[in-house]
Amino acid sequence: MTPSSKPLANVAGAARAVLLGLVLLGSGLAAAAQAAPKPEDPKKQTPWNLYVDAKEAYAMKMELGEKALLVDVREPIEIMFTGFTDVADVNVPFMLANRSAWNEKKSVFLMEKNPDFEPGIARALAERGLGKDAPVIVMCRSGGTRGAPSANALWGKGYDRVYVVVDGFEGGTVKEGPQKNWRLKDGWKNSGLPWSYKLNKEKMYFMPEGL
């Protein structure tokens, strides 16, 4: 950062703080506010244009508590090996691994959209006495391939405010050095926020019978 850019960065930081403050008020104005910058990649954008980083998502939950729903949208097996935060209210995966199908191109199990995703979000809200007007915060691994798509899956279905955690649970990868490609940049795990490899069974996703 050059010396001339520091004042601009300070202004941007202050603006983000003001916007997050509006979110925490839980008022109608919060629907138009966003804290983290809008992602440049269209694939990471949503119709709500509501984005927070991991620290801001944590601040929202601490302020709003049970009035907001924080959803970990990762595959449960992925969570089992990479950790979970009990600050999250529930795990409702957007994509599930099909153990009977194979992705030849990526040499992994085929990932398919969970048909129970939106119903699962609706159930989680109802179980807490919340309506679809309550803030919903979705968090995937890095904020990329599942963050915005999972939010977009809720568009047009009555949800008022859906936020995407842009840096996700594990954050981004280091581009250079001995730890290249390790997920050590930003994200929930790298921001000093509470998490553990010990999972809360009550919050984990179990496939409903009949699906």
How much is the pTM? 0.82
* Closest alpha carbon to 187 in 94, 108, 83: 83
Q: pLDDT tens digits, residue range 117-176?
A: 999 999 999 999 999 999 999 999 998 889 999 999 999 999 999 999 999 999 865 677
Which residues partner with 84 through β-bridges?
Answer: 196
Domains and CATH numbers, the chain: 34-203 (3.40.250.10)
Going by pLDDT thresholds of 50, 70 and 90, the confidence category of residue 186 is confident
Of the chain, the percentage scoring pLDDT greater than 90 comes to: 71
In this structure, are strands 183-185 and 172-173 parallel, antiparallel, or unpaired?
Answer: antiparallel
Environment class of 138 (CB within 10 Å of its CB; exposed 0-12, middle 13-18, buried 19+)? buried
186-206: average pLDDT: 96
Whose tokens are 């919050």? That residue is 203
65-92: average pLDDT: 97
φ, ψ of residue 172 to 5 degrees: the values are: -95, 175
**Token pair for residue 111?**
């990932």
**If you write DSSP's letter for every residue of 119-151 in order, what string do you get?**
HHHHHHHHHTT--TTSEEEEE-SSSSTTHHHHH
* Closest alpha carbon to 162 in 40, 73, 99, 101: 73
Going by pLDDT thresholds of 50, 70 and 90, the confidence category of residue 182 is low
Q: Which residue has the higher pLDDT, 21 or 179?
A: 179
Of the chain, the percentage scoring pLDDT greater than 70 comes to: 81
89-93: average pLDDT: 98
The reported pLDDT for the residue numbered 183 is 72
Average pLDDT value over all residues in the chain: 86
- As a whole number of angstroms, the longest Cα–Cα distance in the chain is 61
